[in-house]
Amino acid sequence: MNYIPEESRIHPYMSLGIEGFNFNSKGDTLDANGNPYYYWSDGTIRTEQELGSNTNASTTERDFLYESDLREANLDGLDRYSQFSFAVPVGVGVQYRINRRLVVDLGTEMHFTFTDNLDNVNSYGSGVREGSADLERFLYTSIALRYNIGQDVPEPPEQPEDTCLVDDDGDGVNNCIDECPDTPDSVAVDSVGCPTDTIVEDSVKTDSLWTVLLGKYGPGEFPTPEFINQVLSIPDVWTEVVNDTTYYINKLYDNPEEAEVQRLNITSNTDIKDSKVILWKPMIIYNAKIDQDKVNSMLDTAVQLSKEDVFFRVQIGAFSRLIPSDFFKVSDVVMIPGKDGLFKYVTGNYKNDYDAAEVHKLEMIDQGFYDAFIVVYRGGERVTLADVGITRDEENLDSAGVSIPTPEKQGIMFKIQIYASKDPIYMVPVNFKGLENVEEYEDDGLFKYTYGGAPSFQYASDVLLNQMRRIGYKDSFVVVFLNGKRITLDKAFELEDQND
């Protein structure tokens, strides 16, 4: 537990641990010339052993160079004892923070070892070399200057104790009672934070539109597959992204009563039970005022949803990043974010009309979305074409279900070059990260391999190239062919300008 305030400059500490270490005890037993020291009884150090008859032996002094391995000397007959041991270090110290980067650390530790040979003196010695049988210990004191690298961890924003003191949209009504969050600054609000009746009435006379909100998801939030299947079993649905929030909505209505009739229809005939009517334009307002008498009078003539209705839609593709909706040049795109990191896009709304869906699929393929295929929903579930009694001739069809001309017949074709090799590579998916339909061509003495194809550079660059890099081809890039022959990008752009 930390009893010292974080902002304090001084932080004392205690430490306890366990460690392993090696040691090699050395002694100063030889002089600079390699001669041993002899310690005489008169306290002098001589160059000869004291015999009694050599009182004139020369004196010398220690050079304090610890060159002798005491274990190898085997003074006590222990031979080559282990020079490895464990120890328990117990320490205290203090840290002084100079600034957010520089810290001075002063500490001392007593290391309690599990050996009696640290100084080469033990209980097995005799005479002046006889020691105690106690385990040895040593003291280590240090001072260090530490520089902390890396980014500072931002402090979390302080949360007010009472969330009712917060007014996120600045309309003067706190969050606890604000029934219309995110109201624009220029709009007058009532006591519960919603636009006043006069503003709504003025909007009705101009371009106000209501919708049924089926669900909304913020950044990092994803709808369940069950929710998506329910949504795609309802006609006239699409997604809109507003301030990084994805809204799933059903049609636009001139008045809230029509939207309420559809909401009741959805609640009664699907598993989506928490939809609500909201004002969509000119601003999003969540508490639409509804005349219930008008709703009741409209219910008798309302067309009810049927779980037997089949909805054919066209999935354009699955992409690793968000694609602007206007890129697809259709107005009813439904974006399905998935936890696998892919964003799937579905377009079209063909109730019990497979032929119309097939035409729409071909239109998408003509625009360069070669992975487009038909998906089928019925009664809140995704089903197969066979489940609804539709079979297709699979001869000469690609994965999208249609025959696609070869690149040589399509004029300019942008592809993704994923690899180049001096030697040819056997053309099987396992050699190309599972990719099928990889193509090979020779250029500059190399065998080069491409994947995909689109008549649009934008699609090839924004979608296909991103897909290849996502699966591991980090060095892949866009190349272009004219009638099956490689040309430069500049030449391709020049030809496109001429055709325009």
Q: Which domain holds residue 435?
A: 407-499
CA 279: distance to chain centroid? 35
440 and 482 housed in the same domain: yes
Residue 212 CB partners (closer than 8 Å, separation 6+): 249, 250, 251, 259, 262, 263, 266, 275, 276, 277
Which residue, among 482, 483, 450, 456, has the nearest Cα to 468 in the 3D structure? 450
What's the total number of domains in the chain? Answer: 4
202 and 254 housed in the same domain: yes
For 70, the token pair is 């005491």
Residues in the chain where the model's pLDDT stays below 70: 1-2, 128, 151-165, 182-189, 195-206, 320-321, 324-326, 338-342, 392-410, 499-500
Please name the residue that has the structure tokens 């006043």.
196
Question: At 206, which amino acid appears?
Answer: T
Check which CATH number belongs to the domain holding 226 and give it. 3.30.70
116 contacts 123 by C-beta, under 8 angstroms: yes
Q: Is residue 110 part of a domain?
A: yes
337 contacts 216 by C-beta, under 8 angstroms: no
The last residue of a domain, from among 388, 423, 458: 388
Q: Is residue 77 part of a domain?
A: yes
Q: Is residue 166 part of a domain?
A: no
Q: Is 0.75 topped by the overall pTM?
A: no
289 and 337 housed in the same domain: no
Give the pLDDT of residue 156. 60
210 and 240 housed in the same domain: yes
223 and 339 housed in the same domain: no
Residue 470 CB partners (closer than 8 Å, separation 6+): 320
Give the pLDDT of residue 133. 79
> Which uninterrupted H or E stretch holds 62?
none
212 and 294 housed in the same domain: yes
Exposure string of 9-31, with b = 16+ CB inside 10 Å and e = fewer, is eebeeeeeeeeeeebebeeebeb
17 and 136 housed in the same domain: yes
Distance, CA of 3 to CA of 10 (rounded, Å): 12
For 107, the token pair is 């500490």
The last residue of a domain, from among 332, 360, 388: 388
Rounded to 5 degrees, what are φ and ψ at 70? -70, -30
247 and 351 housed in the same domain: no
365 contacts 404 by C-beta, under 8 angstroms: yes
The last residue of a domain, from among 121, 147, 173: 147
352 and 263 housed in the same domain: no
How many angstroms separate the first and last alpha carbons of the chain?
A: 73
70 and 142 housed in the same domain: yes
Q: Is residue 131 part of a domain?
A: yes
92 contacts 15 by C-beta, under 8 angstroms: yes
Question: At 357, which amino acid appears?
Answer: A
Residue 317 CB partners (closer than 8 Å, separation 6+): 344, 345, 369, 371, 372, 463
Q: Is residue 241 part of a domain?
A: yes
Q: Is residue 125 part of a domain?
A: yes
Check which CATH number belongs to the domain holding 489 and give it. 3.30.70.1070
Q: Is residue 399 part of a domain?
A: no
Give the pLDDT of residue 404. 38
Residue 88 CB-half CA count within 13 A: 4
Q: Is residue 105 part of a domain?
A: yes
125 and 203 housed in the same domain: no
Exposure string of 185-202, with b = 16+ CB inside 10 Å and e = fewer, is eebebeeebbbeeebbee
Q: Per the omega criterion (within 30 degrees of 0), is the bond before 282 cis? A: yes
269 and 216 housed in the same domain: yes
210 contacts 256 by C-beta, under 8 angstroms: yes
